[in-house]
Amino acid sequence: MREQLLISEGARRFKRLGAFFGHSLLTGVASSSIIAILFIFYFIMRDALPFFRIEGVKEFFSSAHWYPSREDAEFGALAIFVGSGLVTLGASIVAVPLGVLAAVCLSDILPFSVRQVAKPVIEMLAAIPSVVYGFFALAVFAPLLQTKGGSVLAIGAWIVLAPLALVSIAVASDVVASRSPVRARAAARVVAAALMGSAAVFALIALGGFLSRLPVSTGTNAFNVSVILGIMALPTIVSVSEDSLNAVGRELREGSYALGATRAETLLKVVIPAAGSGILAAVILGVMRAVGETMVVWMASGNAARIPSPWFNLLEPVRTLTATIAGDMGEADQVTGSARYHVLFAMALCLLAFAFVMNVVSEYAVRRSRRKGR
């Protein structure tokens, strides 16, 4: 009876062999990702290193003279590095506060039904192809900046700063009221609000006037690209930070509420610090999206390889690493093997190395936040 149920020894061995082969095959296929990343590093490096052999390292990183097509070519990429950095900085100024706030709002503040509507908005922002963002920057935003640059900046400043001013005046006047004698409280609140309100309005008008007088010589500049890149980086920042905010357990929040903290205090003093490394990872991933983005900067950054003066002047055209690679390869491909061809690979190597390091850092941060969450 028992012998009939069991499979014969040979069949069992065959089966085990099959499982072993299956397992190794699957392991082999799975390791294709490792092979892919190794190959990417090898082949980018193989074409990048000849550049450093031909031209040396120092000029590339320290000089801002970018004349690759001249007779005595110069390959100083400093201005291009500065351009990439400037655009990325601008994008993170737009994306980081907005993204983290939005993530907090999604994870803790909005009711479930509203969240179901807000989530697809973020998914759509993430899904829109980069060339569409680039086209918008070039065909809609740039002409607007070019013709009405100053007023666009002033209106933008109003839209961003007015709600902030309103909220901080409300809180500050309440603080003033609470410090004054009980009988004069209402009067103190009104006076403080009126004083600070008029000061804020005055400051905003002054700022608006200053911004609207700024000369905007071209619509395709670093400011344009920064805003668009910031919007592109938002979905990454929001979704990754939201995950890490959700990973902070209920116990922490409930403990804080039990001590009498309000929601804002709980979020600012307990939840956000606890999710800190996850939010850091989100910011890194979002910034990486801005650094590696090609089409938007190629179409709308102006592609001028010089350092803006002063260096933080976002209203001047800049040129970035990605746009240089995309734009120059068309000509350089004809002269495969020349320094002009290899310099683009050298830039790609810098991008790749930066992305790799940042990625490892963010991965480490995510792992740490997960361990903490548990």
132, 195, 206, 214: which one contacts another protein (CB under 8 A)?
132
Nearest Cα neighbor of 98 from 283, 326, 372, 313 is: 283
93, 110, 161, 207: which one contacts another protein (CB under 8 A)?
110
Q: By CB under 8 A, is residue 299 in contact with another protein?
A: yes
Residues between 138 and 177 with contacts to another protein, criterion CB under 8 A: 138-140, 163-164, 167-168, 170-171, 174-175
Residues between 329 and 358 with contacts to another protein, criterion CB under 8 A: 329, 333, 336, 344-345, 348, 351-352, 355-356, 358
Residues between 71 and 100 with contacts to another protein, criterion CB under 8 A: 97-98
Stretch that binds another protein, among 54-62, 103-111, 197-205, 239-247 (CB under 8 A): 103-111
Residue 171, judged by CB atoms within 10 A of its CB (0-12, 13-18, 19+), counts as exposed
Q: By CB under 8 A, is residue 273 in contact with another protein?
A: no
CB 319 within 8 A of CB 86: no
Q: Which is nearer to another protein, 78 or 347 (CB)?
A: 347
Query: Considering the complex, what minimum distance in angstroms separates the CB of residue 313 from another protein?
Result: 22
Query: Considering the complex, what minimum distance in angstroms separates the CB of residue 71 from another protein?
Result: 26
CB 150 within 8 A of CB 217: no
Q: By CB under 8 A, is residue 328 in contact with another protein?
A: no
Query: Considering the complex, what minimum distance in angstroms separates the CB of residue 369 from another protein?
Result: 15
DSSP 73: -
CB 288 within 8 A of CB 275: no
DSSP 129: -
Q: By CB under 8 A, is residue 178 in contact with another protein?
A: yes
DSSP 75: E
- Number of Cβ within 10 Å of residue 40's Cβ equals 13
Give backbone dihedrals phi and psi of 74, rounded to 5 degrees, phi first.
-120, 135
Residue span 214-243 as binding mask against another protein, x where in contact by CB under 8 A, dash where not: -----------------x--x---x-----
120, 209, 255, 273: which one contacts another protein (CB under 8 A)?
120
Query: Considering the complex, what minimum distance in angstroms separates the CB of residue 58 from another protein?
Result: 24
Q: Which is nearer to another protein, 9 or 72 (CB)?
A: 9
Q: How far apart, in Å, do the first and last CA atoms of the chain sit?
A: 51
- Number of Cβ within 10 Å of residue 206's Cβ equals 10
CA distance 127 to 99: 17
DSSP 248: S
Question: Which residue is it, tokens 């009405």?
Answer: 148
Stretch that binds another protein, among 70-78, 124-132, 203-211, 243-251 (CB under 8 A): 124-132
